[in-house]
Structure 1
Amino acid sequence: MSGATRRRRAIASVVLWWGGLTLLLLLLWLRSRAAGQPTDLARCAASEVLLVAVGEAGDWLRRRWLAHRRSRSTRLPPA
């Protein structure tokens, strides 16, 4: 992969990540407005941070679990 392609992919990844987070924040804020319990953006941002942290922790656990299972399947049985 060339340097330009790698750079474009990294920029697209960051733009999509932050765009998704911004959209999530907007959806949380609009949902609170629609429910008749308007709140400020700071509280919605705190909720978003919690959701992202839980998602990232779950992804980390999933990756660890898959790595653990792969390492167990490649071990040779005792002789």
Structure 2
Amino acid sequence: HELEKSKRALEQQVEEMKTQLEELEDELQGTEDAKLRLEVTMQATKAQFERSLLSRDEQSDDKKRTLVKQVRNRPGG
């Protein structure tokens, strides 16, 4: 009788551990998915930042060229 009781208790413990393992696996999968989404978002943000920086540099160069032209074209300059 005692042996059956112990066996049932152990089987219940095994089932609880299986359930816990499944929950942890689901949580891990969710975390990995979130990590992937963050990496993709980070790459897109970095690319956008680099494009913005390049555009700003080009605008700055254009302004510089315009100012240099204006100075050269000034009378007496």
TM-score class, shorter-chain normalisation, is 0.3 to 0.5
In terms of Rg, which structure is larger?
A: 2
If asked which structure has higher relative contact order (CA below 8 Å, sep 6+), I would say 1
TM, length-normalised to structure 1: 0.47
TM, length-normalised to structure 2: 0.48
